[in-house]
Structure 1
Amino acid sequence: MATAPDSTQINRKFLEGSTMRHVINMTATGSVGLIAVFLVDVLNLIYVSQLGKPEITAAIGYASTLLFFHTSIGIGLSIATTAVVSRAVGAGEMQIAKQLAGSALYLITGISTLLVLLTYPLLSSFLNLLGAQGETASLAKRFCAIVLPSLPLLSLGMGLSGLLRAVGDGKRAMYVTLGAAAATAILDPLFIFSLRLGLDGAAYANICARLVLAGVGFYGVLKIHHLFAKPSADIFQRSAKAFANIGIPAIMTNVATPFGNAAVTTAIAKYGDSAVAGWAVISRLIPMAFAGLFALSGAIGPILGQNLGAKRFDRLRSTMRDSLKLTLIYVLAVWFLLAVFSSLIATAFDAHDLGRDVIVFFCIFVAGSFLFNGSLFVANAAFNNLGYPLYSTALNWGRATIGVIPFVYFGGLWFGARGVMAGYGLGVVFFGALSVWLCFRVLHKIEQDQTNGV
């Protein structure tokens, strides 16, 4: 039987050694899992596109936009989990960390279940707001109705992965997402084609993947690290307060992204199902191509949390600098590859006419804007883990509203569907630059406050 790792040797490992090495290692393990998940997600869309009905591909686009709101709430809860537990680990309070972990899992289950109950009766209204109509709206609703009840499994899986990262176990956090990706890769073609379930098959495969996600996560947290204890009333209250202080702003921060995507979906819907299908492809392509950025924002959270708990301010600054260097290198490499293979990507998704034009335009011109998106991701992760989550909320909502709505509106008005994509990319530049400047100001303030005993 596996035994729990020694807490002082493994769990607090971010307090020593090169911060760049920690950033790269945690990002690499996170990227592998995320790329696998997003690659399977892209394959899923390719499978659906082979059914020969643009309405189905467009339905997946609308459904994904709506379900992304729920996924973002799960991400926000996992951010709170990682921040709260990693600080306790960094301070050496391992028994309290276990109780905080238990509280987090209880809270995640309750919040995500309540969310399902509130959302389910309103699916039609939400999809209509996004611009879905006719058969496309009916197909999108059917997909959401099947998948939505599995939201607690998804949220728990994210939270469990966050707990594993909080104790520095990036490898097992990777196994959580890899397991889900493997299940989807096997079951998608089986359900969609072999069993001839079509769109419903994609939904059933999604549910099975979430079961695997939660199962692998529970194994790592409970059996390997024993990172769970029934919380006392005092600890649960402390955890609930921390969840409110960190989780609510983190949820609001993450919901801003699908809100901005919804604005893009609404703007692009004016150009027909072909354009929406092209945007659906881009929405799947972004997470896969830029998985390293998403992994990076999750990777630095526990590194910052442990060093904040130990009051290692020099390591907080070097972690941020190393993260931004990695962002620059990664985005330039991915942008180059997307531009070179843009036509092949559009062909792989059987995109035609306006849908193809939108995909190619994004790959060649818009993808480079993710340098600023990546900077915003990194800064937001820092704010959430350093005790300034409202800063990330304000920046992300600024990006999702001021940095999206007017840009995609006027871009579409002046240049059509291409203009919508251009506006989506240009709007982030200011907020990405602002977030980096503000982040280093916060680091300086935290160190001054600690030095002066505030």
Structure 2
Amino acid sequence: MPDRGEGPGRDEGGARFVSGSILRHVVVMSATGSVGLMAIFAVDLLSLFYVSKLGDPALTAAVGFASIVQFFAIAINIGVMIAAGALVSRAIGAHDPAGARRIATSVTVHGVIASGVLAAFLLAVLDPLLSAIGAEGHTHDVARRYLWISLPSNLLLGPGMLFTGLLRAVGAAREAMFVTLGGAIVTVFVDPLLIFGFGLGVDGAALAVCVARLVFIAIGWAGVRRYRLLEAPRPDAILGDLPLVTRIALPAVLTNLAPSVASAFVTHALSGFGPPAIAGNVVIERLAPVAFCGLFAMSGSIGPILGQNWGAGRFDRMRGVLQVGAGVTALYVVFVWLLLALARAPLAGAFELTGVAAELFGFFCLVSGPVWFFNGLLFLANASFNNLGFPFLSTLLNWGRATLGTVPPALVGAAWYGPEGVIAGTGIGSIAFGVAGLALAFRTVGRLERGTRIEAAPALDAPTADEAVQAAPSSGMSL
């Protein structure tokens, strides 16, 4: 186990976000987070690129169906990660290193157990779950085989994600980046070797996922040891901290499941238009996180910044974080939107998209900008709600968008305009929730500053969360 030093992170783990330029903190944390996320999402996209070169749209569709199931696992893992990072960042901001180590250790044990139980449950309900989201015939069989290979490695992914949350909580953005970047680099070489070199096809892509997650957890473990974030597990602390962690993780999980449910519904709606429509949407769901990974990273980065400043009572800086985040979101989205619009035809050709698939992909590139701006605002709002003791506001907004903002407009769009109507309908549904989320986030900071009694007092024994709920990546229209 790690050495017991005077506190997590040595000098690097202090409350570094309570002073200095807010813009610099947001940009630095977001930039380093973007590199790691870009690596993960780009490798997923590259893996899909290899699968598309196998020449069978049904295989591409199968990977898409498998990804939907994986999204459910990732959503729950993120909930545990949020609980860990939240309490650790708050403890550090309040200068309580012993409490930070205790919480980090307890939630690591909780995370390992939850990851194993989750993988077993998903495998038990795999067949009806795949059928429910529209997988049929050969596509169903390939997706099922892919998941039987890759899902057990969730036992590695869960703790690995948790370690990145702990590292970001102490401001170790570079080390958190190395965790995700390391697994991605390994996959770049392993993926084509298994898919083409050994002739394993889609099964090779699933095996490459397992290899990446093994590297992921190994580098993460090294990082948390360096920052002395863990101690020898104590059963009394593990059990005693469980209610505290659950009060944060449960609403975070519920919040994060909403986009996964919305993505599953969109996939089901598009399945009525055949495998080509599913194949086009799969490419969208893999490309969108790569293109807009900065929004995921930025919403995650403001969590520790908000947590430390709340611990220090700096409400002015908390409002500043939201203002800076919204401004950077707008600039980033405009830039990416322009690139997607210009590159839509070459990208469609690279992934062997033709007909309906190419039309759907091109439509996404043309309309993605405005939708992702409002998605970004909601990501920022989720970060503030989770961090400031209002996690169920995130749950309410995300489920509102996943139901009222997704199902009716998607059904209407499908009936009137076909596959493009599904994408456009779910995109329109995100606008109101993005605006409402950011407005409520500013109001939340104001309530805290006025000293209004809220559900989570600023003490370590009350639940908060440090990171925006980073929804399982999907088309961006149903996030």
**C-alpha spacing 1:69/1:9, structure 2 compared with 1 (3 Å):** closer
Residues 238 and 21 of structure 1: is their aligned pair in 2 closer, same or farther, counting only changes over 3 Å?
Answer: farther
Among residues 422, 435, 438, which one is paired with 1:436 in the alignment?
438
Q: CA separation of 1:383/1:448 partners in 2, compared to 1, >3 Å: closer, same or farther? A: same
Counterpart residue type for residue 287 of structure 2: L
CA positional deviation for 1:241: 2.0
* Greater displacement, 193-202 / 116-125: 116-125
| Contact kept in structure 2, 1:366 and 1:422, CA below 8 Å | no
Shift of residue 6 of structure 1? 6.0
The AA in structure 2 aligned to 1:437 is A
For residues 192-218 of structure 1, what are the alpha-carbon distances to aligned partners after superposition, in whole Å with 9 as ceiling and x for unaligned? 001111011000000000000000000
- Which of residues 199, 204, 212 in structure 2 aligns to 1:201? 204
Give secondary structure in 1 for the equivalent of 2:322. Answer: helix
Question: Is 1:88–1:97's contact at 8 Å kept on the other side of the alignment?
Answer: yes
SS at match of 1:271: coil
Superposition deviation, residue 85 in structure 1 = 0.7
Q: Which amino acid aligns with 1:393?
A: T
Q: TM-score, normalised by structure 1?
A: 0.97
Q: Structure 1 residue 22 and structure 2 residue 43: aligned?
A: no
Match runs of 1:187-198 below 5 Å: 187-198=190-201
Distance in 2 between residues matched to 1:135 and 1:9, nearest whole Å: 52
SS, match of residue 449 in structure 1: coil
The equivalent of 1:323 in structure 2 is: 325
Partner of 1:398: 400
Is contact 2:83–2:248 with CA below 8 Å preserved after alignment? yes
The aligned counterpart of 1:283 is 285
Structure 1 position 451, deviation (Å): 10
Q: Per-residue deviation at 1:115?
A: 1.0
Separation of aligned partners in 1, 2:443 and 2:171: 27
CA distance in 1, matches of 2:243, 2:404: 31
Alignment of 1:48 onto 2:51 = yes
Aligned counterpart in structure 2 of residue 410 of structure 1, from 409, 412, 422: 412
1:219-234 alignment to 2 at 5 Å?
219-222=222-225, 224-232=226-234
Match runs of 1:125-164 below 5 Å:
125-164=128-167
Supply the distance in 2 between the matched residues of 1:147 and 1:34 (Cα, whole angstroms): 20
- Residue aligning to 1:115: 118
Moved more, 300-309 or 171-180: 300-309
Q: CA deviation at 1:75?
A: 1.2
What's the % identity of the aligned pairs? Answer: 44
Question: How far 1:28 sits from its partner (Å)?
Answer: 0.2
* Alpha-carbon distance in structure 1 between the residues aligned to 2:257 and 2:8: 36
Segments of structure 2 that go 5 or more residues without pairing to the other structure are: 459-479
Distance (Å, rounded) in 1 between the aligned partners of 2:353 and 2:99: 53
Q: What is the one-letter code of the residue matched to 1:341?
A: A
Greater per-residue helix proportion: 1
Please give the root-mean-square deviation of Cα atoms over the aligned residues, in Å. 1.8
Q: Number of paired residues?
A: 453
Distance (whole Å) between structure 2 residues aligned to residue 76 and residue 185 of structure 1: 28
CA distance in 2, matches of 1:271, 1:55: 13
Structure 1 portions without partners, runs of 5+: none
Task: Tell me how far apart the structure 2 counterparts of residues 251 and 5 of structure 1 sit (CA, whole Å).
Answer: 26
Q: Aligned pair 1:102/2:105, yes or no?
A: yes
Question: Secondary structure, in 3 states, of the residue corresponding to 1:210?
Answer: helix
Equivalence for 2:340: 338
Cα pair distance change 1:230/1:139, threshold 3 Å: same
Q: Which residue in 2 is equivalent to 1:383?
A: 385
CA distance in 2, matches of 1:96, 1:47: 46
Q: SS in structure 1 opposite 2:353?
A: coil
Q: Of 250, 254, 257, which aligns to 1:255?
A: 257
Query: What is the TM-score with the length of structure 2 in the denominator?
Result: 0.92
Question: In 2, distance between residues paired with 1:200 and 1:9?
Answer: 42
Deviation at 1:66, TM superposition (A): 1.1
Q: CA deviation at 1:131?
A: 0.4
Deviation string 1:299-358 (CA, Å, 9 cap, x unpaired) is 111111111111111111111111111111111111111111111111111101100000
- Alpha-carbon offset, residue 27 of structure 1: 0.3
Q: Is the 8 A contact 1:79 1:162 kept in 2?
A: yes
8 Å Cα contact 1:84-1:242 kept in structure 2: no
Residue in 2 that maps onto 1:446: 448
